[in-house]
Amino acid sequence: MSNVTWTGGIEHWIHKGDIRLFMWEKKASPKVPHAGTIFFVHGSSMASQPTFDLYVPGRPYSSAMDWFSDHGFDTWTMDNEGYGRSDKHRDINFDISNGADDLAVGSQYILDKTGATSLLMYGISSGALKAALFTERHPERVAKLALDAFVWTGEGSHTLDQRKKKLPEFLAQNRRPIDRDFVHSIFKRDHPDTTDPVTVNAFADAILTLDDSMPTGTYVDMCSKLPLLDPTKITVPSIILRGEYDGIAGMDDLIDFYKLLPNMNKQFSVMRGISHASFQQKNYMMVYHILNSFYTMPEPAYQG
């Protein structure tokens, strides 16, 4: 494994029953007005810190947590059970519902610790499914929901069509091995020019510092159990973010989901020149600004 360390944040350890879960916090800058509390949710093939607190030499604010902290947000993330520093010992495949259970415990901890009344959620890929399922179960804890690289029924998803060919393999084991070539494949499969090699190598170093295998549960769910959500039950203000070249997120699938969201305080943003892992793309700053605008937009004074 590589050897990457993280600094500038605060470690927290919480419990889901007898399961230990790792959480990572970076506090809002006191130099700007407080803007809210963000809870970032990672995807299927990497833990939280590589995704949201990445350091890349010469690439300003590769850490989304740093950027949002400097813009007034308290930022939190967690390693779902089976990932990163959190417990991995249970003989299960750590599926999306289990991840949503983790978010329920983590969100309550954040609310109790900070005194916040609700959270700004962001989830990417299977993390978007976890964040959405958590929001469906606990809407009172969520002020706004951002779903990036999201999939609803899987219709039109080229990546999932290819992944389904390996479904018997994923069903046969609870974990799948990963290595540097696998991390690079995430960025090569859709449109390789959307990222730069230095960033992808730093991302691989960070991922492989914590894990050499990943749970199969989210893959099984996304290949064989969709849809997992009822959009009519997601009642909070929401934004769907879709990379122009993302092979996971079928455009028509997302638009159909978007149409059914009942809260009319909603947005759909197509991100130019981005494939699947938006925070590791060349156009990552655009993603930050879209999210910041959504999170800081005032509530509508007139609601009809």
What's the rounded mean pLDDT across residues 287-293? 98
Helix axes 126-137, 96-114, angle to 10 degrees: 60
pTM: 0.98
The type of residue at 82 is: G
Give bridge partners of residue 24 from the DSSP assignment: 11, 77
If we measure between CA atoms, which residue out of 191, 224, 187, 190 comes closest to residue 207?
187
Q: Backbone phi, then psi, for 216, in 5-degree steps?
A: -95, -10
Q: Backbone phi, then psi, for 160, in 5-degree steps?
A: -70, -35
Three-class secondary structure assignment of 240-289 = EEEECCCCCCCHHHHHHHHHHCCCCCEEEEEECCCCCCHHHCCCHHHHHH
Give 235-250 pLDDT, tens digit per residue. Answer: 999 999 999 999 998 9
Give 14-58 pLDDT, tens digit per residue. Answer: 999 999 999 999 999 999 999 999 999 999 999 999 999 999 999
Domains and CATH numbers, the chain: 10-296 (3.40.50.1820)
> What's the token pair of residue 61?
């604010």
Q: Are strands 73-78 and 19-26 parallel, antiparallel or unpaired?
A: antiparallel
